[in-house]
Every structure is written in C-alpha cells, then in structure tokens.
Structure 1
Amino acid sequence: MAPSAPVLSGRQPVPFGARLAEAMAEHGPVCVGIDPHPALLRAWGLGDDVEGLRRFSLGVVEALGGRVAALKPQSAFFERHGSAGVAVLEEVLAAAAAAGTLTVLDVKRGDIGSTMAGYADAYLRDGSSLAADAVTLSPYLGFGSLRPALDLARQTGRGIFVLALTSNPEGASIQHALDGGVAVAARIAEGAAVENAAVEHPTVEHAPLEHPTVESPAAAAAGDPAPTDVASTDAAARLGSVGLVVGATTGSAVADLGIDLTRMGGAILAPGVGAQGAGARELAEVFGPARRQVLASTSRAVLAAGPEAASLRSALAATVDQAREALQG
C-alpha cells in the first residue's frame, strides 16, 4: 500500500513519482476526485452544509481508501464552507493517509515570491495539516514562479502537477499561443522535463528555460524526431515527481502543438475521463505513446454511484478496467 506521508529511504524521502508508479501498478491508472458540489450532496441525500460535506468526503475515503491509486480532493468545494470546510479537508487528507492512499490536492495555486512560498508551506511541508502527497499548480505567471513549491516538493518527497493543456475553451488562447514558434504549453512541458531530469542528472538542475529544446509544430510536420536527451522516455519503468495536467478531452492538441509528453518524464493527470466524455478512443488520441504515464482522473462517473460503499467500489472497478484497457493495453 503506497503511504500518503513520504517514507524515508536512508536519509531521503521516497519520491512521489516512485510511490505513484507503485500505486498505479497495484490499483490501476485511476485517480478519483472528491468533488462535494451541491448537486452530488443532494444526490447522496445530504445537506449542502459542513456535516453533509464531512459525511460525503469521509464516506468516499472509507469506501475507496486502499483500493485506488490516488484520491484528489478539490479544495474549492471545501473552502466554500469557510474555516469549518477547510477543517473537513484536513480530516480527509488525514483519513486518506491512514488508509495508505496517495492524495493529490487540487488547488491550482499560482503566485510569485514569498506568496508562492506560503502556498508551498501550506500544502507541501512536513507537518502541515493541509499537506498532501501532490498538488496542482498554475504556471501562468511563468514556470519559474513555481520554484519555491518545486524545491520544497523535492525536499519532502512530494509531487507537483502543473497545468499544461486544459479542456476549457478559454485555455487555448494562452496555452496554444506561440512564443518564438513554440507553444506555451510545450514550454511548460519542457519545464517539467528539466525538473525531472535534474533529479536523475543533477548537472542539468535548473537549466535555463528561455529557449527550451522542444519539438515545434513545424518540426513535427516535417517529421523531425523530438530530442530525448533531457528526460527518460522509459515512462513505464519510472515516473518523475513533476507532472502535467492535460485534459483528456483536448483532442489532437498535444500532437498539433508538437509536445512530446514521453520526454517530460512525469505523470500526466488527465481530467475528463468518464462523465465528461473521454473514453478509450479519446485517451489514445490525446496521449498516444505517453499513455502509460497517464493517471486518469474521474469524479462523477464514480461518485454518482454512491452513497453505498459497494456501489462506489463497483463503479471504481469498472472505471479502472476501462482505463487499463485504454492506457496499458
């Protein structure tokens, strides 16, 4: 069972990427979101209040803890209930850790300097009541603005998922934009590749990102091979602890923008599986040769089966079977 708190190996914590790879091998490439929005609370016969929030969220952990690669609480649905809701989030993180299940806290924070360091301290520091195994972050103040979180995550054996390609239509105006002929999302992927390579090859640590070597759309069209000298492409054997968020419903964007996800080396958190429309065909189209790096994220497809634990587990099993066939077949 993959522990939620990093376990020390000698003097160093076991990296998140290694723990996630183990959990995916054991339980399948699926992460279940804990998204207690009002409609789901009503569907479970619960009130849209702190008690309903607690019963829903801890019920998911009780039913799925120890049976799923990771759980992904969405912080916004806890924060909307104020300090009492945040206290429930702390309970959820503690319960998942006790069950031996990895947590990805979906906070999508992004800031600079001491403020980014404050977020890192909240979500990535050993001993913090809000510390998760990994967090989602937004790089759109520049990938380098994430440095405090990247450094603390490495020190504590935790992980980072950086937003790269999202499925909302507004995202394309920024993520698909070209900077010197290279898509912004491709530069983000290169930033993650450099971070992961720095762990295995310390001499490339913090390599400059101003002119990353990525496969541009023009090179892809010409059939030029993507370089592979920074990050390992053996994704099935090893995962870096800095991953990307790439929506499972983004179609051909990865290929169109010339992004080499295998070179990035980390896990790919893929929202949109199940109720949002992404099935086996869509996963194959979006991720291609990087499929084995994908941690498929689902929420409603599993949570709508509740509140009975047996029903939640059955829905999870069906989702895992589908994800394995699409991603690991």
Structure 2
Amino acid sequence: MTEPFGTRLRARLDKYGPLCVGIDPSPALLHAWGLDDSPAGLERLSRTVADAVGDVAAVVKPQPAFFERWGSRGFAVLESVLADLRQAGPLVVLDARRGDTGPVMAAYAEAYLDQGSPLAADAVTLSPYFGFGALEGAITSAVANDAGVFVLARADGPEGFRDPFAARVLAGVEAANAGRAPLGPVGVVAGGVPASAVPDRLGPDLLDRLDGPVLVPGVGPRGLSPADLARLFPSVRHAVVPAVSGAVLADPTRVRELTLRYRDECAHHLSAP
C-alpha cells in the first residue's frame, strides 16, 4: 500500500462507481449454482465471481464464515481468492465482524490488516460491542498499513442511529477520522433494511461529521433499492458504498451483467441532485 485507504477508496468509487459486491458462498448458493458443497465448489464459485467483477466493481467483500467452516481447506481457498482479487484491483473488505479486547484484537488486526499476512485485506469489518475504545489497536494497525476498518454501527431494524450506543460508536468514528481527507480510514456499516421499515430520515443526521465511508449492505430486491440509498443517506451520498450479494449472484451466467446494472443504478441515484 502506498496511499491511505480513504484515498484509494475515493479513487475507486470515482472511477468505477459506488458498488461493493459480496462473495457469500453459502451451501444454498453453491447448490443453486449446481456446485458441490465442498472446498472445490467454494473455490469455483468464488473465482467465478472474482473474475466477473474484479475489473468493474470498486470493492469486493468476501464473507470468511463460509470459508472457515471448511477449516484449513477453506482458509486455503480464501487466501487464494484474496490473492486473485488483489491482482485484479478492487479494494477488498473482509467481512469478518471481529471484536475483542487487548491482545486478541491485536491478533485479529495482524491477521487481516498486516500486509504481510496471507489473509490481508484493504479493510475489515469490526464489532464494537466491547466498546469503541477496544478497537483502538486495530485502527492504529489499519493506519500503519494504509488499510481501513468498517465498524458495525447500525443493526437491521427501524431504530437506526437513534440508539444511544450507535451514537457513541459514531462519535468514536468521527474522532478517529478527524482531519483526514478525502475519506478517513474508519467507516461504518449501516445495516440494510427493507425500505418500508425505515423512516424517511434516520433521525438526527449523525453521519454528516464522520468523514468516512458508509457501507450499506442489503441492496437488492429483498432489501434496499438504489433509489432508497439516496433517500436514506441524503447528506453523505458521496461516501455511501452500497453492498449487493444475492441479487448479483443468483445466476452464475449473469454476475457481471447484474453487477454493472446495480453499479450504474446506484451511481445514478447517489449522484442525482
């Protein structure tokens, strides 16, 4: 890495458009693709997705849980897929959702953010439920490695950022990003929900001051539409990273086509005045 994570993310979003494609090779998806639920099937699906979207998506987000269930063989596939993605060029967010304290958090940071690790990614998702302060070591490691972190800040459901704990998380993110441009190294995950379950505004707009990216999973027919993103995040459209998985992975022959469609739709709505 030669540039900070926020700088690289901003450049990818500007060049390729706002979209993150998830690689979630669940048993159900493997079967839907006509693949065995095995490390070989896992590798086939993951490489197909990486090949299809690596040069058109700004960000790719593998879910390690689906690899970990196969033990060392699954980790070997994940390492290989991460290497392929690094070669292809998209930024990689490992959706590990790790959270702990002290040396355990430091070990997670070494595994996922140290650029000498075989599991290194551009960023990793973290859980703050031991307190935002417990993430300090991981954030320090991210900055030292020109990497980033995305902190879970909003659970699915209608309460949004009005929850007091979420507000404290956002305050911690704001402090960590202070003075960094164009985007800081610390983003938030704002869980996607069905559009009907969310008010037009998410209460006080606590996202304005974050100066970091907002990863929004759940985009697709069963969750948020590209138009919903502009309505729900009006003041930070420039920082929204919509994440789509099932909607583009449903048909193995159309992964690239559907990725381009969602990418263009998200770009249209998030850039509209």
* Cα gap change, 1:154 to 1:254, in 2 (>3 Å): farther
> Identity percentage over the alignment?
46
Inter-partner Cα distance in structure 2 for 1:62 and 1:321:
19
Equivalent residue letter for 1:265: D
Output the amino acid matched with 2:189.
V
Q: CA deviation at 1:286?
A: 2.0
Partner residue, 1:21:
10
Aligned CA distance change for structure 1 residues 254 and 144 (closer, same or farther; 3 Å): farther
Question: 1 CA distance for matches of 2:57 and 2:247?
Answer: 14
Q: In structure 2, what is the Cα distance between the partners aligned to 1:266 and 1:253? A: 22
Gapped runs of 5+ residues in structure 2? none
Map of 2:189 onto structure 1? 245
Matched, 1:190 2:171: yes
Give how far 1:254 is off: 6.3
Residue in structure 2 matched with residue 320 of structure 1 by the alignment: 263
Matching residue of 2:93: 104
Rounded to whole Å, the distance in 2 between the matches of 1:49 and 1:255 is 42
Tell me, in whole angstroms, the C-alpha distance in 1 between the residues paired with 2:262 and 2:192.
14
Of the three residues 232, 236, 259, the one matched with 1:290 is 236
- TM-fit CA distance, 1:48: 0.6
Rounded to whole Å, the distance in 2 between the matches of 1:254 and 1:84 is 45
Amino acid at match of 1:188: V
Letter in 1 for 2:268: E
Give the number of equivalent residue pairs. 269
Q: How does 1:255-294 map to 2 (within 5 A)?
A: 255-256=202-203, 258-294=204-240
Q: What amino acid is aligned across from residue 263 of structure 1 in structure 2?
A: R
Query: How many Å separate the matches in 1 of 2:216 and 2:226?
Result: 13
Alignment check: 8 A CA contact 1:79 1:86 kept: yes
Amino acid at match of 1:284: A
For 2:236, the aligned partner's letter is A
CA distance in 1, matches of 2:25, 2:157: 20
1:288 deviates by 1.7
Pairwise CA distance, 1:253: 8.7
Q: Secondary structure at the match of 1:103?
A: strand
Distance 1:74 1:38 in 2: 13
Cα deviation digits, residues 31-81 of structure 1 (max 9, x gap) = 000000011111111001100000000111111112110110001111111
Q: Deviations over 1:302-327 (max 9, x none)?
A: 11121x3xx21110111012111221
Equivalent residue, structure 2, for 1:156: 145
Name the SS for the 1:263 alignment partner.
coil
Unaligned runs of 5+ in 1: 1-5, 9-13, 178-182, 201-231, 233-237
Shift of 1:176: 4.7
Partner SS state of residue 128, structure 1: coil
Equivalent of 1:119 in 93, 108, 117 = 108
The alpha-carbon distance between structure 1 residues 99 and 255, as it changes in their structure 2 partners (threshold 3 A), is same
Find the counterpart in structure 2 of residue 31 from structure 1: 20
SS of the aligned residue for 1:94 comes to helix
Superposed CA offset, 1:226-278 (max 9, x none)? xxxxxx7xxxxx2111100002327239632x242121010000001113321
2:118 corresponds to which of 122, 129, 148: 129
Task: Verify the 8 A CA contact 1:186 1:259 in the aligned structure 2.
Answer: no
Q: TM-score, normalised by structure 1?
A: 0.78
Which protein shows a greater Rg? 1
